[in-house]
Structure 1
Amino acid sequence: MKLSRFVGGLLAAGATAFSVLAANGVHAADLLDAVKERGTLIVGVEGTYPPFNFVDAKTGQLDGFDIEVSKLIADKLGVKVEFVKTEWSAILAGLSSGKFDVILNQVGITPEREKTFEFSVPYVASSPQLILRKNDDSAYKSFADLKGKRLGVSQGSNYEALAKAQEGVEVKSYPGAPEYLSDLVSQRVDAALNDQLMTAYLVKTSNIPIKGGAIVGEPKFNGIPFRKGNPEFRATLNKALQDSFEDGSFSKISNKWFGIDVSKVQAPQ
């Protein structure tokens, strides 16, 4: 009698769990079906990460590279796009819990993250890059060339750690890019270090005489993460990206924000 009640309880619990999963669309169907039925692709972004995603002070609307790429993808999927602003510290957990369908927020593709999420094909390739004064003809091709030189970095960034790991380089840390660029132009540092995308953006928008220098590290690739178990969505998302690479629509957005096509690994400028 006890055994039958136990088995019956398990069956009832299983049925309830199945009903809950089905009601919430979790693993009941491919994510593509849910997006198409809803008519909206829900995208997680920080909303405070210029030039990738930020609130335009004039319009009060989200703008930026990843915002435009999201709209491009949604258009190719034949749906609208809805953005959900979430702090970076909670954004991956938000994806896991189903708060949004995908994240477009410069998420690096790493083996650790691939244990939990699927990723699209890479849509951004970027490497550590030196920033130099525009009229500087110094042949800095590697960190070895910066021995005995002063290198400006953002405090607490990955690039501060990378710079401090280089023997013989005098590292000067700053609150952010405006401060180290000011010292670069004033010759208080010999070079600065940042992400290749940010370097391109700073060269394009800062209105000060700087240029991109040598690439000093291996490229890293960013993709669009989504929950595992959605092969149809993965194939459709990848096709949308590949089509945008081939028809020039992605390159148009990229060049608007960075002056380069960020889907391709760039040679030193």
Structure 2
Amino acid sequence: MLRTWKTVLLTGVFTLTLTGTSYVSPDLFPTSNVSAASASVNAPGQLKKAETSQLDEIIKRGYIRVGMTGDYKPFSYLNPETNEYEGFDVDAAKELAKDLGVEVRFVQTTWSDMMNDLLADKFDIAAGGVTRNTARQKTAYVSQGYITFGKAPLVRAEDKDKYLTIEDINKPSVRVGVNPGGTNEVFVRQYLPNANVTVVDNNLDIPHLVADGTYDVMITDTVEAMTYAKADPRLYAALTDKPFTKSEKGYMIPRGDFVYASYLEMWMDEMKLQGKFDELYKKWME
């Protein structure tokens, strides 16, 4: 009898304790069955309809459109003899298309029109020696860098010790040739206001015009300067070890597309990890 009384008392205390702590045992109080699937469907994040990424559109259409100027060796060059693009970023674009399982189609643009053409959906990605900077990042999405470079003077070999500083070049007597609309012109306008500057529409013409004496200096990237100096013994790429600036090259896509941007960044990581960017550097720049 005593044992039965103690059992009843303990059961009552245990029940009151659980109720007071807001714990409700399913064994003590029956509840309605709540579906976990129903809760997940009604979660706030599930109520939003995901927008289609440009990545999905590229894969669906079966090709990626790559915007290039075709005038910027060794990154992109539209060979007039073959009417085909060639260069570091041409090969990189083909690798990107291969990884996506699509074809690549190159779309010609200019440095002045590149941003507007990208925003007008004339191509999916801009490549071919695009410099990473905050000005471009305000309007588009610029990827991580894949090669470091700086602005430096391309001069005649006989003048290799003549134009070594900004002060040496920033004079009315110094004739500077520059292509329009890109970071080369931005640099020249900012740092060489006193030089005799001429804007040359075709960037490919400027090295030859320096070599034949029409201009004294071409301000360009160290990589391009070395490429032209290697091809023409009349030219010299100055300050390639200590350029005036330091920047990186990247790729540019429309901003606001997280899926597309994430894929691009991972693809670039893989290109670096697998040594493919190094292979392209050796092919086009050494």
TM-score range, shorter chain: 0.5 to 0.7
**CA shift digits 1:198-229 (9 cap, x unpaired):** 21111222243634335342213332121223
Percent identity of equivalent pairs: 22
Alignment check: 8 A CA contact 1:44 1:86 kept:
yes
**CA shift digits 1:125-166 (9 cap, x unpaired):** 321123466688849764357799975531566254355347
The aligned counterpart of 2:115 is 92
The aligned counterpart of 1:109 is 132
- Tell me: CA distance 1:139–1:224, structure 2 relative to 1, closer, same or farther (3 Å): same
Tell me the amino acid that sits aligned with residue 249 of structure 1. K
Q: CA RMSD in A?
A: 3.5
Runs of 4+ deviating beyond 6 Å: 145-150
The aligned counterpart of 2:93 is 70
Task: Give the C-alpha shift of residue 253 in structure 1.
Answer: 2.0
Tell me the amino acid that sits aligned with residue 239 of structure 2. G
Distance 1:247 1:125 in 2: 19
Alignment check: 8 A CA contact 2:132 2:142 kept:
yes
Partner of 1:213: helix, strand, or coil?
Answer: coil
User: 1:120-159 alignment to 2 at 5 Å?
Assistant: 120-131=143-154, 138=161, 142-143=165-166, 153-155=176-178, 158=185
Distance 2:170 2:137 in 1: 37
The aligned counterpart of 1:243 is 270
Larger deviation, residues 111-120 vs 210-219: 210-219
The aligned counterpart of 1:178 is 208
Partner of 1:104: helix, strand, or coil?
Answer: strand
Alignment check: 8 A CA contact 1:43 1:84 kept:
yes
User: 1:36-51 alignment to 2 at 5 Å?
Assistant: 36-51=59-74
Distance 1:207 1:138 in 2: 16
Distance 1:50 1:137 in 2: 21
Alignment check: 8 A CA contact 2:66 2:105 kept:
yes
Distance 1:87 1:140 in 2: 29
Larger deviation, residues 145-154 vs 202-211: 145-154
Confirm or deny that 1:231 pairs with 2:261: no
Task: Give the C-alpha shift of residue 121 in structure 1.
Answer: 0.9
Q: Where does structure 1 lack aligned partners over 5 or more consecutive residues? A: 1-21, 260-269
Distance 1:193 1:96 in 2: 28
- Tell me: CA distance 1:204–1:99, structure 2 relative to 1, closer, same or farther (3 Å): same
Distance 2:279 2:219 in 1: 26
**CA shift digits 1:150-191 (9 cap, x unpaired):** 75531566254355347xxx767696222223449xxx96x7
Q: How many residues align structurally?
A: 227
The aligned counterpart of 1:204 is 230
Distance 2:125 2:179 in 1: 28
Distance 1:137 1:83 in 2: 37
Distance 2:161 2:188 in 1: 22
Structure having the higher Rg: 2
Confirm or deny that 1:219 pairs with 2:246: yes
The aligned counterpart of 2:141 is 118
Tell me the amino acid that sits aligned with residue 166 of structure 2. F
Partner of 2:238: helix, strand, or coil?
Answer: strand
- Tell me: CA distance 1:216–1:171, structure 2 relative to 1, closer, same or farther (3 Å): farther
Distance 1:242 1:199 in 2: 27
Task: Give the C-alpha shift of residue 71 in structure 1.
Answer: 0.8
Tell me the amino acid that sits aligned with residue 252 of structure 2. P
Distance 1:98 1:192 in 2: 32
Partner of 1:81: helix, strand, or coil?
Answer: strand
Task: Give the C-alpha shift of residue 114 in structure 1.
Answer: 1.9
The aligned counterpart of 1:28 is 51
